[in-house]
Structure 1
Amino acid sequence: MKLVPSIALLFACALHAAEELPVVPRIESVGLFKNGVAVVRASFEAKQAGSYRWEDLPRSIHGSFWVESDGVVSVRATTRMVAEPAAGPTGQLQRDLAGQTLTVRLKKGSEGGESPVISGKVWTLPEQPAKKTWDSAFSSPPNPWLSVTQGARMELPVSTGNFLVLEGERGRQFVDLGSIASFSVDGEETPATRKVEKPVMVFEVAEPPKDGGRVRISYLARGLAWAPSYRLDLKEGGKLAIRRSAVVRNELIVLQDTEVQLISGFPNIEFAHVDSALWGGATLAAFFQQLGQPAGSGVGAASQQLVMYNSMAPTAAATLPDFQEKGAGDDLYYESVGKRSLEPGDSLSLELPAAETKCERVVEWVVTDPRDGRGHYLSRSEKEGNEPWDALKFTNPFDFPLTTTPVVITEAGRFRGQSLSQWVNPGQSTCLRVTKALSLQTRSTEMEEEGQREVVWVGGNDYRRTKVKGTLELHNFRNKEVTLDIRAGFSGEMLESEGKPVTRLRTEGVTSVNPQRELAWTIKLAAGEEKTVTYRYSVWWISRRKKNGLRL
């Protein structure tokens, strides 16, 4: 007996499927990063040797899919004809009514008379598995315009054209769709399922695991994220209540009584933009194209927003160490929020543990360095604003870090401001701006002092050394005392200053001729008080530059 190739393929798929036991791995836990990448752990029961078929494949990240089992298990990604719920009517009668017995009434002819009636069973179109061809001409360098599905093509589907094919006692009848006046379905219901070809993952268990016969798997995938937010409530007596919340967004997989863990930190996920070759939609052309792209190029706009939220580079984490719920390791913190159930598309808002701490209200005034590394004054567009801000100074009271997140600040139930809190370690102090201090008048000026300018030849350029006097003017129009935290940047060597400020080097100036420094004062200013603070420094600035070996 010779089988038609497509029928033979269907028979082989059905034979494989009969030998395989379908399984749905239980999602035991998910660990959520803020950039949309999640650590997924799942398992299924395999108490005896055999083949186990997983039909809903994860789109895992390259290099992250692992079988964590003490048994002997191998994994194969392939395709199978599997049963799926039948789709609703599509308007294609041959497919919608396949297998049904119809009574068809045709339109009357031009001579009139009774309308002809035909009965028969609607012929079922044969399933046609996709035939794939593979593009082995991998571009080098990768072509950024290649589609993820490049190289996989499906032939034209089987069709009966403009005819409805019925099977009756006289064989097949081809009825022109345009000649049908009406029809009725005789008795039989529409099939509840249909056979479709789907990518599947087959686990070949040669030796069952000893751990209760459960095969455990873990992988990284995109589609789960959490977004934190904090609220700071100002209390009397210098107290500050810190409330924490998180929104969990699921666009990946059904979670049913799944342990959800929120991960804070900056892990490295070098291949977050590369799909695993085990994924059903993978092709080698797309795989090598993604490998050739810079990390983070495929995370999407939504993920990039979460990444910015996390104050980190576009993608983040690697393989899967066995973290615990608390602590998890240096600079990576897991916080469990218990078992949760979420459908894809669901979002969940959670209240996290809160705490109180002491806080200090200050006015923060940051005076930016007016010069560049060559000693030249910056243009007005290059300078940042130098306005003073009311701010809160407090210490993290939790035994875990405060992550990067937006913060709403309230007092007596009234909104005061919103700020961005950066990563704050346990016991570390931070300062958040609340609102612009409009009732304090501040002004910063610099003036070059008269005198002889010293000229030095450095690296082929003429530098002139000059001395500068900086002045900070403060006026408190409030009816109460304020504490000012002032930081003034400058480029050069410190000569003298009032008020004994703390002087420190700024890291951004390590390659410039002038050391880039910062002065820091803490000044008490009484109600209505005015004060002036001065400082002096020397700076080198380029007067002539070398070009093509010549002085200009």
Structure 2
Amino acid sequence: MRVRDCWVMIIAAAFVLSAAAVYAGEKDLPEVKTKVSQVAIFKDGYGFFVRTGESRLEKGWAEFDVVPSAVLGTVWVYTDRSNEAVDLLVRGTKKVERTGKVANMFALLGENIGAEVVLTLPEKMKISGTLVYVSEVTGQVTSRGRSAIRPRNPEPFVVLETEEGSIVIFRFWQIQQIEFQKKPVLDTALDPEERPVLRAKVLTRRDKANLGLAYLESGIRWLPSYLVIVKDDERALISLRATVMNDAEDLEGTRLSMVIGVPHFSAKGELDPIGLRETLADTAEFRQVGRAMMSQAAMPAAAGYADFMREERVLGQPRPPGPSGRPLPPPPGELAGVGMEELYLYHKDDITLLKGERVQISLLSGEVPYKTIYQWDANKGEEVWQCLKLTNTLKAPWTTGLAMTVKEGQPLGQDMLEYTPPAATTTLKVTQAPAIRVSLKETEIARGEPERIGNRTWSLVTIEGELKLENYKKKAVQVEVRKTVSGQVEIPSDIAEITVEPSPDRGLNPLAHLKWEISIGAGETKILTYQCATYVRI
């Protein structure tokens, strides 16, 4: 094919696409009246919204009734049929006529030309007739073909035709009262508002389509909270509820899916250009994304996206004839009822929650086994905590959230319950246990000769530590004790576990994390000892 012929074809294709875009911009297209059918809500303040609706098509075109403020790269429009595709998505604007109530008496008269009125003038003089004219017409045409009146000089006037056919002209400021013989018109035309719109071009032979609009948007989040009711010495009832805070958009009869997990969205905080309300070149997102896309680091990702789009055309369902183009990926699948990759979703159907409202939703409840233990972290002082060691025997994971513990109707305490998958155990702090007294004493028992290491002088010091626990309760208790020491650990007593890691500052002394799990009888005292050799700079 000759170069000239190639250019002719390219120019022709450009005209075809231009015509399509112009058509979309100039026509009043059928509107897709959508509703939010489902939202996947994340705890970090974002939600994945799915809107659906049916619409007629005008030569394949339809117009959505919303333009979302979505996160960059998360806006997808789709149809519910595999042999159809959304070929183009145009973000444009249109002028929308608006009406409001009249703001003053002058505007009221202007909206009621032709009305029968009785005007009260100074000295209680009354005159009746038909409103013929009000001065200072600005030329704004209302929905009824009349002009919205705005006085602009100190001498506006009113023209009235009396029942006798006389024409009376008087200054507007002379009017003290207006009496209408029939209900007056109170609405007036406002300046048209320019609103953003989304126009979609569907490749289909049908004259209607079921369309979906999916996007990630900020403004909605959920907070988990637990109630743990101690039933007896072995069982507890745990209940999870979600507090949903909706500051995004109105939801009516919507399925809410509370997501457990940490999804990764690298473009959080950046708005998609398809939904921007301002000039693209003036936005920080445009400048940031532009720099990233032009950098060498972004080129492999761009190449991968091109490969993906080619695979979509080759492997996708056959499309009906139409303008060539790359269809958007298929609609997102129905949200899973339980696990979905590394995420888990709690579903609640038919929820109505308007923007600005909050709701609490019960998600799960069930009895689980537990053990009462006590914890002492000797690194943090002499506080001993009563804890519940809970085992998750339910089918769903427990997400991280505040948990309040109650026994016999009385609150015992509140603390953070950590993420716990099914079959795993977790420890929940309940309250401090003053009946178990503890103390820590460390003594230097040996010191080596100074030695030169590198360009500094060090001495190896041996420390003996003593952890003392006294149980003043009337029953035996299980206690977990933790202590972190710096140096080489020697001769720990009754040790259950030692974990060693390198020094965080690359020094001579490693860190050793010691953990004991011991039983102390009623009224008994237990002493735990350890020794560690640590280098001290001199």
Q: TM-score, normalised by structure 2?
A: 0.75
Confirm or deny: 8 A CA contact 1:45 1:213 kept in the other structure: yes
Superposed displacement of residue 68, structure 1 = 2.3
Confirm or deny: 8 A CA contact 2:484 2:514 kept in the other structure: yes
In structure 2, the CA distance between the partners of 1:198 and 1:542, relative to structure 1 (3 Å rule), is farther
In structure 2, the CA distance between the partners of 1:213 and 1:496, relative to structure 1 (3 Å rule), is same
Find the counterpart in structure 2 of residue 82 from structure 1: 96
Matched, 1:532 2:527: yes
Find the counterpart in structure 2 of residue 44 from structure 1: 53
Find the counterpart in structure 2 of residue 33 from structure 1: 42
| Counterpart selection for 1:67 from 68, 73, 77 | 77
Matched, 1:351 2:362: yes
Aligned residues: 455
Confirm or deny: 8 A CA contact 2:111 2:188 kept in the other structure: no
In structure 2, the CA distance between the partners of 1:206 and 1:495, relative to structure 1 (3 Å rule), is closer
Q: Whose helix proportion is higher, 1 or 2?
A: 2
Cα distance in structure 1, aligned partners of 2:502 and 2:93:
57
Confirm or deny: 8 A CA contact 1:38 1:224 kept in the other structure: yes
SS in 1 for 2:273: coil
Q: Max radius of gyration: which structure?
A: 2
Superposed displacement of residue 345, structure 1 = 2.1
Find the counterpart in structure 2 of residue 401 from structure 1: 397
Confirm or deny: 8 A CA contact 1:325 1:335 kept in the other structure: no
Alignment of 1:457-476 (within 5 A): 457-458=453-454, 460-476=455-471
In structure 2, the CA distance between the partners of 1:83 and 1:499, relative to structure 1 (3 Å rule), is same
Cα distance in structure 1, aligned partners of 2:524 and 2:205:
78
CA deviations on 1:389-429 (whole Å, 9 max, x unpaired) are: 00111122222321111100011111100011121122221
Superposed displacement of residue 347, structure 1 = 1.7
Confirm or deny: 8 A CA contact 2:96 2:195 kept in the other structure: no
In structure 2, the CA distance between the partners of 1:106 and 1:428, relative to structure 1 (3 Å rule), is same
Find the counterpart in structure 1 of residue 444 from structure 2: 448
Superposed displacement of residue 36, structure 1 = 1.8
| Counterpart selection for 2:264 from 261, 268, 272 | 268
Matched, 1:325 2:321: no
CA deviations on 1:478-500 (whole Å, 9 max, x unpaired) are: 11111101111111111111113
In structure 2, the CA distance between the partners of 1:289 and 1:325, relative to structure 1 (3 Å rule), is closer
Cα distance in structure 2, aligned partners of 1:212 and 1:328:
35
Deviates more, 1:323-332 or 1:118-127: 118-127
Q: Which runs of 5+ in 1 are unaligned?
A: 1-12, 129-156, 294-318, 369-383, 544-552
SS in 2 for 1:393: strand
Q: TM-score, normalised by structure 1?
A: 0.73
Find the counterpart in structure 2 of residue 105 from structure 1: 119
SS in 1 for 2:93: strand
Alignment of 1:370-449 (within 5 A): 384-449=380-445
SS in 2 for 1:19: coil
Confirm or deny: 8 A CA contact 1:53 1:200 kept in the other structure: no
CA deviations on 1:113-158 (whole Å, 9 max, x unpaired) are: 9467782366875559xxxxxxxxxxxxxxxxxxxxxxxxxxxx99
Superposed displacement of residue 83, structure 1 = 4.3
| Counterpart selection for 1:161 from 138, 142, 152 | 152
AA in 2 matched with 1:364:
Q
Alignment of 1:282-321 (within 5 A): 282-284=278-280, 287-288=283-284
Cα distance in structure 2, aligned partners of 1:186 and 1:506:
92
Cα distance in structure 1, aligned partners of 2:479 and 2:278:
59
CA deviations on 1:473-529 (whole Å, 9 max, x unpaired) are: 111111111110111111111111111331013588374432112111111111111
SS in 2 for 1:278: helix
Superposed displacement of residue 367, structure 1 = 1.5
Deviates more, 1:272-281 or 1:411-420: 272-281
CA deviations on 1:209-252 (whole Å, 9 max, x unpaired) are: 88982121110112222111111111114111111111222222
SS in 1 for 2:364: strand
Q: Which runs of 5+ in 2 are unaligned?
A: 1-21, 142-147, 290-329
Deviates more, 1:407-416 or 1:395-404: 395-404
Cα distance in structure 1, aligned partners of 2:173 and 2:67:
43
Cα distance in structure 2, aligned partners of 1:165 and 1:175:
6
SS in 1 for 2:412: strand
Confirm or deny: 8 A CA contact 2:90 2:199 kept in the other structure: yes
Cα distance in structure 2, aligned partners of 1:205 and 1:447:
80
CA deviations on 1:36-73 (whole Å, 9 max, x unpaired) are: 21100112224533443334432222221111233244
Matched, 1:503 2:498: yes
AA in 1 matched with 2:152:
G
AA in 2 matched with 1:271:
A
Cα distance in structure 2, aligned partners of 1:473 and 1:320:
63
CA deviations on 1:418-472 (whole Å, 9 max, x unpaired) are: 01112112222111111011111100121222332443424x4443321111110
SS in 1 for 2:283: helix
AA in 2 matched with 1:28:
S
Cα distance in structure 2, aligned partners of 1:320 and 1:518:
51
Find the counterpart in structure 2 of residue 224 from structure 1: 220
Confirm or deny: 8 A CA contact 2:78 2:331 kept in the other structure: no
User: % of aligned pairs identical?
Assistant: 20
Superposed displacement of residue 328, structure 1 = 4.5
Superposed displacement of residue 206, structure 1 = 4.7
Cα distance in structure 1, aligned partners of 2:398 and 2:170:
72
AA in 2 matched with 1:207:
L
Cα distance in structure 1, aligned partners of 2:386 and 2:459:
39
Cα distance in structure 2, aligned partners of 1:366 and 1:341:
47
Superposed displacement of residue 17, structure 1 = 7.6
Confirm or deny: 8 A CA contact 1:364 1:388 kept in the other structure: yes
Cα distance in structure 2, aligned partners of 1:385 and 1:322:
52
Superposed displacement of residue 104, structure 1 = 7.0
SS in 2 for 1:497: coil
SS in 2 for 1:52: strand
SS in 1 for 2:222: strand
Superposed displacement of residue 287, structure 1 = 2.5
In structure 2, the CA distance between the partners of 1:239 and 1:281, relative to structure 1 (3 Å rule), is same
AA in 2 matched with 1:74:
L
